[in-house]
Amino acid sequence: MNQALEFRGAYTAIVTPFTADGRGLDLARLREQAAFQARGGVRGIVVSGTTGESPTLEEHEYHELLACAVEVGRGAGLQVIAGTGSNSTAHASALQRAARSMGADAGLSVNPYYNKPTQEGLYRHFMAVADAADLPVMLYNIPGRTGVALTPETVERLAGHPNIRGVKEATGSTDSATEIASRCPGLALLSGDDSMTLPFASVGAVGVVSVVSNVAPGRVSELCGAFLGGDWARARAVHRALFPLCRAMFAETNPIPVKAAMRLLGRDSGVLRLPMTAARPETEAQLERALRGLGLWPAG
């Protein structure tokens, strides 16, 4: 395991670029997007997560996507975190091993969805994943998508495993974030919601896994740099400037709005795979207003 790896700062939950017909990956576009993230100063990219439409990827596509991301990430100085979650413990463990063998820096492992396991089931699941490969694990606590939440008590139990090094907290709860930070001082706490990055930082978070940074990596990096450097006034100013875009990015289910924003800016085809569908016109209008407000318009 990479003992020197530290989760800290801005990470982009990068979209998966598809070809115009949606049937294949656009790896050339992925290389462009990863390079754009590196220029924006983010610490790393998360590949094949929620924003990357991981449930729609074929197994061979997952490997192609990760191989491309690792190649580009290494050249650009980015950490590459592979989405390795599954509601099957055996499958999640296999993905963790695959991520290790392909050169990823860590795995992002989501709560098992649909099954709705108990806290003991969650504990055993993530311990098995952490045991599966000599690779850092970032827990991904997102009950709104999975139907079950890791409690702070269970996170504390899991934090004793040397491979479990961070948690992406997407509960939207400052109470949960506060308790995790208090119980697990050695575990890197990162926000999983862009609008909660600064509130979570105030109780101990050290970064964010961001959707907004797909289009504004420099601003999200600036936000993290400000609060990590103790410049809370600057952090509040950046947070407030980003807030309209944060809201617009979640006007519909992620990644519908971010794919629309990327298309509006000429940086992606905007193609989604079913069951995701194109953004509503009112969402696109909200995105355009927010992008204009940040000086990211016009397209192209």
264 domain-assigned = no
Between 5 and 260, where is the model more confident?
A: 260
Q: Could you give the CA distance from residue 156 to residue 177 in angstroms, rounded to a whole number?
A: 12
Task: Look at residue 300 and tell me whether its pLDDT is greater than 50.
Answer: no
Is 123 a known active-site residue? Answer: no
Query: What's the pTM value of the predicted model, to 2 decimals?
Result: 0.96
- What is residue 46's predicted lDDT score, i.e. its pLDDT? 98
Between 221 and 2, where is the model more confident?
A: 221
281 domain-assigned = no
289 domain-assigned = no
Q: Could you give the CA distance from residue 231 to residue 245 in angstroms, rounded to a whole number?
A: 22
CATH classification of the domain holding 37: 3.20.20.70
At residue 188, φ and ψ (nearest 5 deg) are -75, 120
29 domain-assigned = yes
Task: Encode pLDDT of 38-62 as tens digits.
Answer: 999 999 999 999 999 999 999 999 9
Is 113 a known active-site residue? Answer: no
Given the residues 11, 62, 168, 259, select the one marked as catalytic: 168
- What is residue 4's predicted lDDT score, i.e. its pLDDT? 75
**3-class DSSP state of 207:** strand
123 domain-assigned = yes
At residue 203, φ and ψ (nearest 5 deg) are -110, 10
Q: What is the mean pLDDT of the chain?
A: 96
Q: How many CB atoms lie within 10 A of CB 215?
A: 26
268 domain-assigned = no
Please state the domain count of the chain: 1
145 domain-assigned = yes
Task: Encode pLDDT of 103-155 as tens digits.
Answer: 999 999 999 999 999 999 999 999 999 999 999 999 999 999 999 999 999 99
Given the residues 62, 123, 140, 259, select the one marked as catalytic: 140
